[in-house]
């Protein structure tokens, strides 16, 4: 082979090598952009997409048609300090983690019960509101502990702390569990007499039952489990630490106490 041809071949090989090198560098840049922090991601978007369900008094629409609630107002206050706008998106509670990881939402801010299983898969803030799981029945119905519900029907929101409470109670696990999409649906089942009892969050039960409500014939008859609420972000998200800092600030200036009093809630210590 002539020297001129050899030189042309070497030049071609070098050119091809350069193309592959530049291509590889380009791939690295893409990877780096995909690895931006969660906080940088939402700030770039200018908003946090908040996953919620209709759950009074945390997030709900009042009788005047206004979307409100403890978590709704708290989210707005926190986002103002973060420098982003909240965008509230109603979700299916049963697929909340799937939506979070798919970035359909950026957080779950809706009275989420903190437990070890959730802490293993999501980044959850410090506790901010106390809650409990309670048994509700129609007024006048016989109830003497969870043993009185063995063999009877008990409703709860599927995938909720209420369902967990039923499945972990030695007596309630012997009842016929009726899964519902929302806690309010479980409440409606008790009202209609289609189930014997339901296990709900205390926060919702206190707000929606008793005198002056549409469920004045429904009563809370038992407290089964105390728990704390937290705000969930994607695993290892740096938004969590930023929100924890803001929650401390809102506790110090009295905002948290004011909101808790307004919605009849007890703050976590």
Show pLDDT as tens, one digit a residue, over the chain (269 residues): 444 444 444 444 444 444 333 333 333 333 333 578 999 999 999 999 999 999 999 999 998 999 999 999 999 999 999 999 999 999 999 899 999 999 999 999 999 999 999 999 999 999 999 999 999 999 987 899 999 999 999 999 999 999 999 999 999 999 999 999 999 999 999 999 999 999 999 999 988 998 899 999 999 999 998 899 999 999 999 999 999 999 999 999 999 999 999 998 999 98
- Give the span between the Cα atoms of 191 and 216, in whole angstroms: 10
- Give the span between the Cα atoms of 139 and 128, in whole angstroms: 32
CB 209 within 8 A of CB 185: no
Task: For residue 239, give the 3-state DSSP assignment.
Answer: helix
Tell me how far apart the terminal alpha carbons of the chain are, to the nearest angstrom: 84
From the list 199, 115, 114, 116, the residue with the least C-alpha distance to 152 is 199
Per-residue confidence (pLDDT) for residue 16, from 0 to 100 = 44
- How buried is residue 56: exposed, middle or buried, by Cβ count under 10 Å (0-12/13-18/19+)? buried
Q: In this structure, how many other beta carbons lie within 10 angstroms of the beta carbon of residue 159?
A: 16
DSSP for 97-142, please give it.
HHHHHTTS-SEEEEEEEP-HHHHHHEEEPPP-EEEEEEEEEETT--
Per-residue confidence (pLDDT) for residue 34, from 0 to 100 = 55
Per-residue confidence (pLDDT) for residue 140, from 0 to 100 = 86
The pTM for the full model equals 0.73
CB 260 within 8 A of CB 267: yes
Please compute Rg for the chain using Cα positions: 26
DSSP 62: -
Q: What sections of the chain are H helices per DSSP?
A: 3-34, 38-45, 70-82, 96-101, 116-121, 161-168, 183-192, 202-208, 239-252, 255-263
């Amino acid at each position: 082979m002539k020297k001129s041809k050899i030189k042309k071949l070497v030049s071609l090989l070098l050119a091809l090598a350069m193309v592959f090198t530049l291509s590889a560098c380009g791939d690295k840049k893409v990877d780096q952009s995909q690895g931006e922090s969660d906080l940088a991601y939402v700030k770039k978007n200018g908003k946090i997409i908040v996953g919620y369900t209709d759950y009074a008094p945390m997030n709900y629409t009042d009788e005047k048609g206004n979307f409100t609630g403890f978590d709704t107002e708290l989210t707005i206050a926190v986002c103002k300090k973060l420098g982003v706008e909240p965008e509230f998106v109603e979700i299916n509670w049963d697929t909340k983690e799937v939506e979070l990881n798919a970035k359909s939402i950026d957080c779950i801010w809706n009275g989420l019960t903190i437990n070890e299983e959730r802490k293993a898969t999501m980044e959850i803030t410090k506790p901010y509101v106390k809650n409990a799981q309670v048994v509700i029945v129609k007024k006048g119905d016989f109830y003497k502990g969870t043993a009185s519900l063995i063999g009877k029907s008990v409703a709860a929101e599927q995938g909720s702390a209420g369902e967990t409470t039923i499945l972990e109670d030695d007596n309630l696990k012997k009842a016929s569990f009726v899964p519902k999409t929302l806690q309010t649906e479980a409440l409606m089942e008790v009202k209609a007499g289609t189930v014997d009892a339901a296990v709900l969050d205390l926060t919702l039960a206190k707000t929606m039952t008793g005198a002056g409500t549409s469920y004045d014939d429904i009563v809370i008859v038992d407290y089964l489990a105390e728990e704390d609420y937290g705000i969930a972000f994607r695993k290892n998200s740096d938004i969590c630490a930023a929100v924890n800092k803001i929650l401390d600030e809102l506790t110090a200036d009295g905002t948290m106490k004011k909101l808790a009093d307004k919605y009849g809630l007890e703050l976590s210590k």
